[in-house]
Amino acid sequence: MLAAIQYRSKNYKIDLTKPLDISIAMTGNESNVNAWYLGHPKIEPHEEDGFIGKVSEGASVNFNNIWFNPHSHVTHTECAGHITKDFYSINKNLKTFFFLTELITVAPEKFRDDFVISKKQLRYALGNKKREALVIRTLPNLSNKKTKQYSNSNPPYLLEEAAVYLREKGIKHLLIDLPSVDKEKDDGALVCHNAFWNTNGKIRLEATITEFIFVENNIEDGAYFLNLQVAPFENDASPSRPVLYKIID
C-alpha cells in the first residue's frame, strides 16, 4: 500500500506494508533490557481471593498485571517534563506523529574515561540536510542491545555541544539506541537533556527524546519517514513504538 506525504512543498512516497520497527519489546523477565538500577519488569497473572488470571490455571481469560518503568525497561519517548519542576505530559505535547527523518550510524569516540558522540560527528553525518527527526545507531551494533543490563556500565552519551547543535539545527525528535543521551553518573546535571529542550530559554515542549531503540544492521543509513507513536500515558515519558518507512524514489 503506497502512501503520499507532502513535506515542505515536496511530495514523498512510502510503502505502508514495509514498516521497519526500531523498538525493543518488553518481555517481563531478567533478560529484558534494563538501566537505572531497578529490578526487571514483571508481567504476571493477577491473583486475588483464589483467582489466578491465567486460562491454563482455570480462568476464562488471561489477566496480567504489568510492573515496569518506561525509562528503565523499554523503548520510550520522553518530553521536557522529564526534567522540569512543572508537569508536562508526553501525551499532551507530542501532537503529530509523522516526521522526515535521517538515520545515521556513529562510532562513539574516546573522551577521557568515556565514549561520546560529538558535534563534529553529527555535523559530518547530517551536513546540510533539513530533518525534523534524527535516529542515531551507535557502533558496535550488536543484538545484545536488546537485552543489555546497563546499570553501572557507563555507556556512551552525547556531549553537550552535540545536543546544542541538534537543537540549533531544528531537530525536534531525537532517537538513540542507548539508555540516555547523558552520562550515566553526572550528579544530576543532565546537560544534554537540558540543552536539547532549551530549559534555560523558551522550553521546547514539542521536542522529544526517544531512548532504547534498536536499528537492525540491514537498515541502511539515509532518509526515512518516522511514525512515532506512544501509549497515551499522562506522564513525562511513555513506552513507544518508532517505525521507519523507506522513501520510494
**pLDDT tens-place string over residues 83-103:** 999 999 999 999 999 999 999
pLDDT at 238: 98
pLDDT at 92: 97
| CA 170, 216, 211, 194 torsion-angle sign | negative
Per CATH, the number for 2-24+75-248 is 3.50.30.50
**Pairing mode, strands 173-176 and 208-211:** parallel
Of 3, 21, 171, the residue nearest 100 (C-alpha): 171
Peptide bond into 108 cis (omega under 30): no
DSSP secondary structure string, 30-80? TTS-B-TT----EEEE-EETTEE--GGGT-SS--EEEE--HHHHS-EEE-G
As a whole number of angstroms, the distance between CA 87 and CA 235 comes to 8
The 10 Å CB-count burial string (b at 16+, else e) for 54-64 is beeeeeeeeee
Please say if the pLDDT value at position 133 is more than 90.
yes
As a whole number of angstroms, the distance between CA 213 and CA 239 comes to 11
Average pLDDT of the residues in 104-116 = 97
pLDDT at 6: 86
Of 111, 109, 82, 107, the residue nearest 94 (C-alpha): 82
Residue type, 133: A
Q: Are 121 and 199 in contact (CB under 8 A)?
A: no
Predicted confidence (pLDDT) per residue in 25-66, tens digit: 999 999 999 999 999 999 999 999 999 999 999 999 999 999
Please say if the pLDDT value at position 70 is more than 90.
yes
pLDDT at 117: 98
Q: Residue 4: which pLDDT band, with cuts at 50, 70 and 90?
A: confident
Task: Locate the domains of the chain by residue range.
Answer: 2-24+75-248, 27-69
pLDDT at 5: 87
Q: Is the pTM of this model over 0.85?
A: yes
Predicted confidence (pLDDT) per residue in 184-203, tens digit: 999 999 999 999 999 999 99
Longest dimension (CA), the chain: 63
The proportion of the chain whose per-residue pLDDT surpasses 70, expressed as a percent, equals 100
pLDDT at 2: 87
Mean pLDDT of the residues in the chain: 97
| Category of 95 on φ-ψ map: left (φ > 0), alpha (ψ -120 to 50) or beta | alpha
pLDDT at 23: 98
pLDDT at 8: 81
Predicted confidence (pLDDT) per residue in 155-195, tens digit: 999 999 999 999 999 999 999 999 999 999 999 999 999 99
246: cell is 523507506
Bridge partners of 6?
Answer: 11
Residue 199, helix vs strand vs coil? coil
As a whole number of angstroms, the distance between CA 210 and CA 213 comes to 7
103: cell is 538515520
Average pLDDT of the residues in 117-132 = 97
